[in-house]
Structure 1
């Protein structure tokens, strides 16, 4: 293992002597701190931080990142406090080290949660300084390279975590070389047999293909020369994990994947990239629909290149990437490649750096909104995968979204408030369903309305973590406020029976009852009542501490307005509508379910004040309510059309219709009609009765 002197020599190519001395100081500090500690392989522990620093030196990272790499396990493994590091090496380095330190002290219920929590810590640290993630990735890379020393079960767990979390992050930050190494090492640890067999097959195939590769390489190089362009042509190898993924995902045989030849052409400037593209399209026929221009529209992680697929000699498909030297550097090292281009006094990162920082900010927002670490990891995993669609805002700004995104995802990507108030969308100036998957190049316009709320059905089709998290958050808030409001009405109704009111209950008594129920604020108690988890009757008696009293029988019913939202639902068994005599059944977790007074399903509990409550309809009740009608009539042509036009004439709406012929002469039709109240229903029935041949109309109840 090369020592600190070898590293210092490598650093002298791009760092100043003072900075190299700081790195040396950090190394000696770590050596002392880890004195006596050994790795599982038997080496002195300090070889690990040194190896991590070497990986960062390959990427030409700055001296503070290298110092943090040397010290990254000091806080966690040696009991040295963060303050001591701040005093020795300054705040920035101490912050970086603290960010990288893992949360090993925490006790996790499950492996998935541990991984998720670790990742959250990383995301938080990234947001403050993106170098934390680069040190973390280098740390993980060295651990993956030395995985053989670990017990089999642990190495598999680390490999899975690397494939699920670290490889996609490296990809998201544009660090291609690191991602490839993560994937191949992870694949080898997860599936040693498969990895070895694919490796052997690749070795054999490479031997057989040498001649063809050399021929194609030669013809591409001479083509560039003829056009007077200087460029380098490199045969590109497919890495093992990508071969395995294609074989599994696309169900392709090994030979089909290896039959594609891949080359990279590296030129001096952007202009030459397009000229080189023209030249190779003249040399071999391009495959239609397989050209991608990532120079004009770069990927989210800053990757730029021209991609094209050609029919080579003997009809062999050739994949070609054309890019400049800087793009090549960027493709391999991603955001790390941009580290040196950012001068220390310039705090406004440009281009790719800003793009990566933007992503980090998005991750952070998800972390704050998500209910728990597992929900967070699910959201972030969705956002880590790089298949994107590019759409335009009405003002021509390019928005980049994951594949399969809908207008709702787009709305939340623009702004949370736009998403929450979204009611419709126009795709390419035409009204379209909100659930329609967006295609690259479309212009998307969102129609909003003040007071609009997210719809629970959106969760069935949104794909971005941001949209899903914000919708869940808004629905939780909406459900909570509706539950609190209903709970307050239920509790006050019972208290009124005792000649009291919530405002008249002494504050001390309120606190005592909250303490008994282990709740912090009155809102939590009202929410529980509204959701049906606690009975208003029992809570009222606790508040008034009058266990001996019975509730007076002459209580006025609670009025239903129809706007109670998610915590009030109408029973499907008896479909009550305004005007019907009704009772409310309090169901734990669901809130209140409204039944007809004589519904058989609640006959046993109707007189139990802890389970049921008398209701009435408010004068200003709003909404549409479904009723099932059974119409018996003589069979005639155009029956369904006649019924539909009659219901329509009475301003009703048919939700569902089914017909069942009783004999050759009489038909029985089941209609589900939406109406406003009983008066409206009477109008609909009157119109249906006026039809020729109607024998009987009955309203279907449980």
Structure 2
């Protein structure tokens, strides 16, 4: 652990004007506040924030960042408050500590209950001051280095998965590749221990067999470049176990089939020498077509710049080579942290625009699970480059479509998209873009995002924006329907309903406001009796004594997965009822027809689009069609009618289809509550001596 004077000296090496007294006060404060607290390793707890502060000095960050690192756990784990931090160390430190603390609290919640509001606040803080993220990444890296001290394997797995899913991609997106690689390696060891042991064992065997191979290849590369008059530094290494495992998984091959396990880095004096070195290497050795990438002329979103190529070395060995100058290398390894270190934070501002997209995604996300999905999509790598007709460059994930491109340019453009041209050719909106495509978006003033787009868009921003737009339109239409239904319900209540009664009903039902009440009524989340009871408590007592008779209730069918405003009808061929797995079919200029998933009409092939659908909450009341074969003797028809009556179903139609003594067959349409209701009635029919056979059509 760094001692107090050692930490101060490390900061003074790159910032001679640092306020030593303030740093000393922060060091003593964290030691006193954490007191006798211990880590899982048995070390004093304050050793952790001190080590995180040491990591920040490696990044050459300012004293505010160093103090934030020292104090980042005091609010979460001690009696200190944000107000205490502000009083003792100022508003800037308090703001950064608050931003880091909010994310730490989220980690402690169950994954499916993460607080979207807290995450939104964290992202806002992070976009306004990237140092919040830099300190948090240092915090996570040190925690991963000491993860093996935690005894519970399930806790180690949870932290490792969180690191792999969220923090390593975030480190990559801000260009901190050293952090990203170490986090991935440490997380991989916990998540895939067998694979980690196997790959590290094989790498050890390779080192023993030919320990000088990496150095020999690096020397050959340096000699070839020196002969061309280039002064360079060349280093080589084996790829990390996680990188190798990822290639094995992507290519579906074993370790022996991975030929490019060595990577080399060439550092030149300037940009021009990067391209000269590339030409020399491609002349001396054969390069692999399709494996060359120029991130110098077209940097990644995070500012990463380098030339990448793959060469075929002796004995058909493949080696990867990265070529960059010294300045690129410094900034590539530490990304945005390097911009802060060299007082160029303003130059880094364009590289965190994706954080603002994340904030928009958080605002548009419906629940915590959806939020995590969109956030992960937004931070993952594997990008392509696409251009507007005017030459503006946008980076998108592989698999992106013109709709993703439109939302990347601007949310409003995405919402108004009606068509697209790629390289001056009209293409379907679901077309996958290639590297270097020029994309022109065709928009319409009356256009709206379509639910069907969710079937092919791949960016978190596009998915979140589409869901929000569709949800808002649907909510407005459903709330309008709910208001009409509410007026009918209010007429049945034995009191005059005013604004006060509505406000009280909203409170009793634990809803946000009157609009939420109308939406709940329109979407059948609340039934009539619940609303009446909320308006006038006790007024539904007389209804509780009545036998429920579903045949006398209004049907309430709602379907999730449809574009708002699109009509639907339940298919006559299969008669779906609530509880069935359903899909929709849609032909041009027609509404949606809802079928059961195993409908024979679907199996025979329909020339139309399929839509994945679900029943809305509390959908009830639909027509189920049965084929029932009775014994042809007196009283059997009456016995079947009695079964229908006991099960509270309403016979909508009955057609005799076959008479073949001693049997009579009928096709019967019944109004039932749902699939469970229909199944219970079928069981009752099959148990009857009057029924030879009963099945659903």
TM-score range, shorter chain: 0.7 to 0.9
1:349 aligns with 2:341: no
Aligned position for 1:33: 33
**Is the CA contact 2:397–2:459 (under 8 Å) kept in the aligned structure 1?**
yes
Query: 1:260, 1:316 within 8 Å by CA — same for their partners in 2?
Result: no
CA offset digits 1:559-588 (Å, max 9, x no partner): xxxx9944853332299xxxxxxxxxxx96
CA distance, structure 1, for counterparts of residue 314 and residue 354 of structure 2: 43
1:567-582 paired onto structure 2 within 5 Å = 569-573=568-572
Aligned with 2:258: secondary structure? helix
TM-score of the superposed pair, with normalisation by structure 1: 0.74
Please name the residue that 1:380 is paired with: 375
308-317 vs 112-121, which moves further:
112-121
Distance 1:511 1:25, change over 3 A: closer
Partner of 1:369: 364
Range 241-250 or range 450-459, more displaced? 241-250
SS in 1 for 2:44: coil
Distance (Å, rounded) in 2 between the aligned partners of 1:564 and 1:446: 22
Secondary structure at the aligned position of 2:446 is classed as: coil
Distance 1:544 1:126, change over 3 A: closer
| Matching residue of 2:256 | 255
Give the TM-score normalised by structure 2.
0.74
User: What corresponds to 1:403 in structure 2?
Assistant: 398
CA contact (8 A) 1:486 1:564 kept: no
Q: Tell whether the 8 Å contact from 1:20 to 1:63 is kept in structure 2 after alignment.
A: no
Q: Does 1:141 align with 2:141?
A: yes
Long gaps (5+) in structure 2: 544-561, 576-614, 628-640, 643-648, 651-696
User: Equivalent residue of 2:432, what SS?
Assistant: coil
3-state secondary structure, aligned to 1:40: coil
- Aligned equivalents of 1:35 and 1:522: distance in 2? 51
In the alignment, the residues of structure 2 paired with residue 53 and residue 506 of structure 1 have an alpha-carbon distance, to the nearest angstrom, of 61
Q: CA deviation at 1:263?
A: 1.4
Which residue of structure 2 aligns with residue 159 of structure 1?
160
Deviation at 1:117, TM superposition (A): 8.0
- Matches of 1:599 and 1:156 in 2, distance apart? 52
1:592, 1:449 → 2: CA distance? 38
Write out per-residue CA displacement over residues 77-101 of structure 1, whole angstroms, 9 at most, x where no aligned residue. Answer: 2211212221221111111112222
Q: Give yes or no for contact 2:123–2:358 (8 Å, CA) kept in 1.
A: yes
Q: How does 1:110-259 map to 2 (within 5 A)?
A: 110-114=110-114, 122-153=122-153, 154-257=155-258, 259=260
Question: Which among 426, 438, 442 is matched to residue 437 of structure 2?
Answer: 442
User: Deviation of residue 371 (structure 1)?
Assistant: 1.4
SS in 2 for 1:236: strand
Indicate conservation of the 8 Å contact 1:391/1:442, yes or no. yes
Counterpart Cα distance in 2 of 1:28 and 1:319 = 48
- 1:566 and 1:599 mapped to 2: Cα distance? 32
Counterpart-to-counterpart distance in 2, 1:276 and 1:64: 41
1:248 to partner: Cα distance: 2.8
Superposed CA RMSD in Å reads: 3.9
Q: Kindly tell me: are residues 117 and 105 of structure 1, through their superposed partners in 2, closer, same or farther at Cα, counting changes over 3 Å?
A: same
The corresponding residue for 1:617 is: none
C-alpha distance after superposition, 1:362-418 (max 9, x if no partner): 112211221122211111111221111111112110111111111111111111111
Q: Go from structure 1 to structure 2 and tell me whether the alpha carbon gap of 1:487 and 1:383 turns closer, same or farther (over 3 Å shift).
A: same
In 1, the alpha carbon distance for the partners of 2:349 and 2:534 equals 58
| 8 Å Cα contact 2:52-2:69 kept in structure 1 | yes
Are 2:322 and 1:327 aligned? Answer: no
In structure 2, the partner of 1:531 is 523
Residues 534/218 of structure 1: CA separation in 2 closer, same or farther (3 Å cut): closer
Does structure 2 conserve the Cα–Cα contact (< 8 Å) formed by 1:425 and 1:446? Answer: yes
Q: Could you tell me how far 1:255 is from its partner in structure 2?
A: 2.8
Answer whether contact 1:307 1:320 (CA < 8 A) is retained: yes
Distance, in Å, in 2 between the alignment partners of 1:520 and 1:89 is 39
Contact 2:308-2:322 within 8 A present in 1 as well: yes
How many Å apart are 1:218 and its aligned residue?
2.6
CA contact (8 A) 1:482 1:567 kept: no
Whole-angstrom distance in 2 between the partners of 1:152 and 1:116: 28
Task: Write out per-residue CA displacement over residues 399-455 of structure 1, whole angstroms, 9 at most, x where no aligned residue.
Answer: 111111111111111111111121111111221111111111111111111222211
The corresponding residue for 2:385 is: 390
Could you tell me which residue of structure 2 aligns to residue 688 of structure 1? none
For residues 282-301 of structure 1, the aligned pairs below 5 Å read: 282-301=283-302
Instruction: Specify the alignment match of 2:464 in structure 1.
Output: 469
Whether the 8 Å contact between 1:55 and 1:138 is mirrored in structure 2 is yes
Q: Distance in 1 between matches of 2:563 and 2:275?
A: 61
CA contact (8 A) 2:239 2:261 kept: no
> Residue by residue, what CA displacement relative to the aligned partner does 1:191-211 show, whole Å, maximum 9, x if unpaired?
444323322321221233445
Q: Is the 8 A contact 2:470 2:563 kept in 1?
A: no
> What is the 5 A alignment of 1:585-664?
589=617
Between stretches 23-32 and 465-474, larger displacement belongs to 23-32
Q: CA deviation at 1:537?
A: 10
Structure 1 residue 67 displacement after superposition: 0.8
- Tell me how many residue pairs correspond in the alignment: 578
